[in-house]
Amino acid sequence: MTIFESMILTAFEVLFYIVIVEQLLDKKIKTNKKFAAITAGAVLIGFVSEYFTEPFGTLFSAALTMGLIYMLYKAKPGKTVIVYLTSTVIIAVIQLIALIPLKLLTGNIAYDFYNGLLSQIISLVLICTVCRFIPLNHIMYFIDRKDRIFTYVTANAFVIIILIIVYWKIDMTDIVENLISVSILSFVLVVVNLVIIRKGLENSKAEEMLEMHEKYMPVYKQLVETIRRKQHDFNNHMNAVNMIVETSSDIYEIHSRIKKYTGEISPGLPLELIKLENTIVAGFLYSKTVEAESRAFNLELDIKSNTLSNVLMDSQWVEVLGILIDNAMEASNVENCILLSMEKKDMDIVTVRNCHPYIEKNDVEKYFEKGFSTKEDNRGYGLYNLKKILQGCNGTIEFFNEKMNNTNYVVFRVGIPM
């Protein structure tokens, strides 16, 4: 195989990495940058593969590929390494699987340009299919959390795959003769790692639930205790009203004194929260009302349903509600009113309204882009994360402007399937 043919096959390899890494990081780059990376990678890695013996050729190629990923996607070095390892495992397993239809089509697998090109084309189709139907970006949940189990699994799989690749380049004939065994080994490797990752995910979910309970159950208990105190205050107020009636001379005096008395009573608690069966969400919403009050906002709650969809975990409900409320507070002036309502129709509907100048619908789309923010500091992920959560559960989101008391309100309405 000539060096030019080797560079063509390497161009496919670089393309595979770009496709997988884009899905993992959920970050798109311009086509001209992709073309430049594929060209540079094909030349450099193709040259290294041609003139360096194993295992040095594979090691140098890995370093060059990680360098390309780092320059294209600007991820942190540690994250770049993990993304590279994960991508390599996915690509290598798919390439091994691609050998099966190749062997069925040709009857023989020779180490030549024709078979290599055909194998790369089959692999590209499989990779595009995987990216189309499997949400690879969910893997970033483990990467961002620096999950030790996921890191161990990825490193373990990477070492085995690298050994297979090196052995492939040293003695391809033996690999081809044992293609079924190698494919089964790769499949078993994937299944075992998926089981370990699944266990890790279950443990992570359990940890999240425990953190939520530890964080918001005390807040909920505080809410219940405060309501009990308010109930005692209510009894005292009723006694005071009864005394006003007993000691007043006529109906006009009763009306005047009661009006004055009730005007001196501070607003009550958002008693709607006690309707919610989900104590975590109730505690969270109560904490947001306290936060809003401390920031001179008036957060009004209208809870019309006492149950919430179990399609979302408690942590996801907290994230959805937190994003909507925080977005409303950041977009509003102090002392403005923020209205949050929750009701059940064919879906669980959460609607948040806040005072804001009129916004064109066409301008709203950019609010959901990753990293977009009207603030100067490092924000811009709230509504983007909200969109991702809703996409994951087939939820919906609407935006519109609404006039209330001659004031424009922007409205975000979220629908969660039941």
E strand or H helix at 343, and its extent? Answer: strand 337-344
pLDDT at 148: 63
Locate 381 and state its tokens.
Answer: 């992920």
Give dist(CA 332, CA 386) in Å, integer.
19
Q: What is the DSSP letter of 267?
A: P
Alpha-carbon gap, residue 94 to 88, rounded angstroms: 10
What confidence tier does 161 reach under pLDDT thresholds 50, 70, 90? low
Q: How confident is the model at residue 233 (pLDDT cuts 50, 70, 90)?
A: low
Contact 241, 261 (CB under 8 A): yes
Asked if residue 64 lies in contact with residue 45, where contact means CB atoms within 8 angstroms, the answer is yes
Round to whole Å and give the CA distance between 99 and 107: 11
Complete domains list, the chain, with CATH: 3-177 (no CATH), 270-417 (3.30.565.10)
The pLDDT value recorded for residue 378 is 43
Residue 281 — pLDDT band, cuts 50, 70, 90?
A: confident
Per residue in 112-149, pLDDT (tens digit) is 788 888 888 988 999 999 888 887 777 776 666 666 66
Tokens at 177, concatenated: 């003769």
Distance CA 262, CA 164 (A): 80
Secondary element (H or E) of residue 410: strand 407-417
Q: Are 312 and 389 in contact (CB under 8 A)?
A: yes
Of the pLDDT bands very low, low, confident and very high (cuts 50, 70, 90), residue 238 is low
**Residue 282 pLDDT > 70:** yes
Higher-pLDDT residue of 384, 54? 384
Chain centroid offset of residue 43 CA: 36
Residue type, 10: T
Find the helix packing angle between 3-25 and 113-133, rounded to 10°. Answer: 10
Lowest model confidence (mean pLDDT) among 12-21, 39-48, 73-82, 201-210: 201-210
The pLDDT assigned to 367 comes to: 72
DSSP state of 108: S
